[in-house]
Structure 1
């Protein structure tokens, strides 16, 4: 009997003890609310920044970071892309202006554009460039992030050479197919051959005159140019970055310089390897009736210019693609680090 009374008393003491602890905890919580300057019945404000970070999907974050990084590089290097297109398809008055009808060079084309179209003429085709490159870079980086996750690669795991080539090719193919109509319009805008008033007007005019085939002309050479470029670039870039001592990457300022330097080296190698496909792409998109396929375009280039014809516009393209890719990757690396994707 006395044993039962003892157990009951002990149980009551434990309950009371637990109750007092809960009360004490509650009081402390109330005091902490008062200490923060909020009334007891007022909810503590949410950390909107933290909440937003949790709500965004990593693929969406990668898309936004990629689009942001592509905007500045597209605007900055548009003149180089314009000069490259004009070099691959020089107009008759530019050729006539050169001595003995020698094929005009990069400086001649540049000076001609400034003389005839003013400085603003160097940014001709800016709207389709933005419409193509900004979402294109975003799609590329988000696809790359998604594919890397599918491969089971964590944030801190490096890609092997073959993995980098494969991921780069697939990611660029996905974005290239999605944006081929804008690529066609961009090339025609920059050439000076076609006079479109707006992006929407160009889409309607091409579709009305050439149908869906016109909006997708040059898709083969475009993918043959962009997909290998992205695959080779990503391989060279990741391998160059992995060769750098890890401690060098700890400093934010040093990391940015390293990312940019690795991007420059990767861009030069990848640009030279894919320039022939860029020449064929330009011919097919400017003259779809004359060059219905890549073979006819290649035959024309070979007969007209010889082997050197496949590298027309290589210098401005190499400068633009190399600097643009290096800047885009540097900005992307910094943004992804700041938003927690790395």
Structure 2
């Protein structure tokens, strides 16, 4: 780990620039937050479509009980205009900007604490990613619940803070942490699997490519592979989490949601919204990690 003492570079002194004196963990938080901002803004429409697909019930379109991603896109644009695809972006920002920052700063802290002298093994990478995501997931769950409800189109909240207050008054504190089990069953394995495949993919790259100018593209490609595998493995937990959070009072918890989905839709119901979620989570994670690692490198820190 680099020396974190404050210093000024002579070249910087000439231009009046001083190197950042922030703590490395704070730098990791800021890099993660910036990467989360970029990826959230770009891929919010996919998240909204995923939520709509997962919460539709007995929806019939032109005689067919199955509605696809393209149909939902068209319906949202037709009824809510183009900006309707970014409905829920405010709670997404409220969740992802600090949430992604918290994830990467936790990841950085854990890695420096336990693996400062060596690279983690494959199994250790799983626990490293899962541990960092658990910290971020628990802290940001209330905003995640609000985000899911905004995107579902079933609730008419005016703002994130207003939604949190309304839920607390009408449904109690427990509603702010609804879907906690399903969320952790989704997010912790996703991050663990993602970090596993991401780090192993990067290790398999030829040494001559690692220092090449195309490294960001290589990192992004490794992220795509890791994201697809992690998304598919955790899709059922995401469907359960969504149902629990948008059906207060109807579904008491994770177990009831699993039974309900299986009885009404069968096994295929646990993979509703898989395509938009896979696209969003894969692209978002790949972009977030690529931006994060580039920013950390510019700050002189090893990610």
In 2, Cα distance between equivalents of 1:81 and 1:190: 8
For 1:88-237, list aligned pairs within 5 A: 88-90=54-56, 95-96=59-60, 98-154=61-117, 157-237=118-198
For 1:40-59, list aligned pairs within 5 A: 49-50=17-18, 52-53=19-20, 55-59=21-25
What's the counterpart of residue 3 of structure 2?
none
Find out whether 1:291 has 2:237 as its counterpart: no
In 2, Cα distance between equivalents of 1:248 and 1:152: 24
For residue 216 of structure 2, the aligned residue among 249, 253, 256 is 256
For residue 263 of structure 2, the aligned residue among 303, 327, 333 is 303
Q: 1:10-43 deviations in whole A, cap 9, x for unaligned? A: xxxxxxxxxxxxxxxxxxxxxxxxxxxxxxxxxx
What's the counterpart of residue 10 of structure 2?
none
Query: Which 5+ residue runs of structure 2 have no aligned equivalent?
Result: 1-12
Q: What secondary structure does 1:102 align onto? A: coil
Shift of 1:153: 2.1
Q: 1:92-130 deviations in whole A, cap 9, x for unaligned? A: 7xx24x122412111111110000000000000010000
In 2, Cα distance between equivalents of 1:281 and 1:47: 52
Q: What secondary structure does 1:103 align onto? A: coil
Shift of 1:158: 2.7
Q: What secondary structure does 1:226 align onto? A: helix
CA contact (8 A) 1:67 1:135 kept: yes
In 2, Cα distance between equivalents of 1:49 and 1:190: 43
Q: Which of the two has higher C-alpha Rg? A: 1
Query: So what's the TM-score if we normalise by structure 1?
Result: 0.82
Runs of 4+ in 1 over 3 A off after TM superposition: 45-50
Shift of 1:335: 0.5
Shift of 1:167: 0.7
In 1, Cα distance between equivalents of 2:145 and 2:200: 33
For residue 241 of structure 1, the aligned residue among 202, 208, 215 is 202
Find out whether 1:83 has 2:44 as its counterpart: no
Q: What secondary structure does 2:44 align onto? A: helix
Shift of 1:212: 0.8
Q: 1:145-183 deviations in whole A, cap 9, x for unaligned? A: 0001110424xx432111110011110000000000000
- Give the length in aligned residue pairs: 291
CA contact (8 A) 1:214 1:288 kept: yes
Q: What secondary structure does 2:146 align onto? A: helix
CA contact (8 A) 1:77 1:324 kept: yes
Query: So what's the TM-score if we normalise by structure 2?
Result: 0.93
CA contact (8 A) 1:71 1:134 kept: yes
What's the counterpart of residue 28 of structure 1?
none
Q: 1:256-304 deviations in whole A, cap 9, x for unaligned? A: 1110000000000000000000000001000121111111100011011
Q: What secondary structure does 1:100 align onto? A: coil
CA contact (8 A) 1:67 1:134 kept: yes
Query: Which 5+ residue runs of structure 1 have no aligned equivalent?
Result: 1-44
